[in-house]
Amino acid sequence: MKAAECELCRLDGGALVLRNEELRIVLADEPEYPGFCRVIWNAHVREMTDLAPPQIARLMGAVFAVEDALRAVCKPLKINLASLGNVTPHVHWHVIARFADDPHYPKPVWAERQREGDAASIAARCVLLPRLTDEIRARIKAQ
């Protein structure tokens, strides 16, 4: 895939929480999963081991900062982390807050649905997103 054809080269990939020279953090457009974040390397790089070790350290530092903020603000039952990229081979991490009443729990979010999402739970989690955004920014700034 050429960079010009890559969705993550053309678009932010979600609602921007922050962007620096190397990476950006976005809230994914996943309406049933408020607090589904993505950490996206800005340059079109295919695999983690195509990055230099200091770049890997900074990217993973951002991923774990998002995990930490999600745990502090959203109190999920579990965090799921994944770097897949089969469809969009441009390094990006899914950082997902999981809850017992979410549509796929305890399966991965890519597996078959287990139930309908609970509208009241989803609404309550959406209310936390501004604070989540602040907490992510504070953690990245402190790194």
Kindly list the residues in this chain that would bind its own copies in the complex (CB under 8 A).
46-49, 56-57, 60, 64, 67-68, 71, 78-87, 89, 98, 105-108, 110-112
**Omega before residue 31 within 30° of 0, cis:** no
Q: In the bound complex, what is the minimum distance in angstroms from residue 71's beta carbon to its own copies?
A: 6
The dihedral region occupied by 63, where left means phi > 0, alpha psi between -120 and 50, and beta the remainder, is: alpha
Q: In the bound complex, what is the minimum distance in angstroms from residue 119's beta carbon to its own copies?
A: 22
Query: Is the Cβ–Cβ distance between 97 and 72 less than 8 Å?
Result: no
Q: In the bound complex, what is the minimum distance in angstroms from residue 86's beta carbon to its own copies?
A: 4
Query: Three-class SS string for 127-141?
Result: CCHHHHHHHHHHHHH
CB nearer its own copies, residue 24 or residue 104? 104
CB nearer its own copies, residue 107 or residue 123? 107
CB nearer its own copies, residue 111 or residue 127? 111
CB nearer its own copies, residue 43 or residue 48? 48
Q: In the bound complex, what is the minimum distance in angstroms from residue 89's beta carbon to its own copies?
A: 6
Is residue 62 exposed (0-12), middle (13-18) or buried (19+ Cβ within 10 Å)? buried
Nearest to 93 by CA among 59, 117, 121: 59
CB nearer its own copies, residue 2 or residue 49? 49
Q: In the bound complex, what is the minimum distance in angstroms from residue 35's beta carbon to its own copies?
A: 15
The dihedral region occupied by 99, where left means phi > 0, alpha psi between -120 and 50, and beta the remainder, is: beta
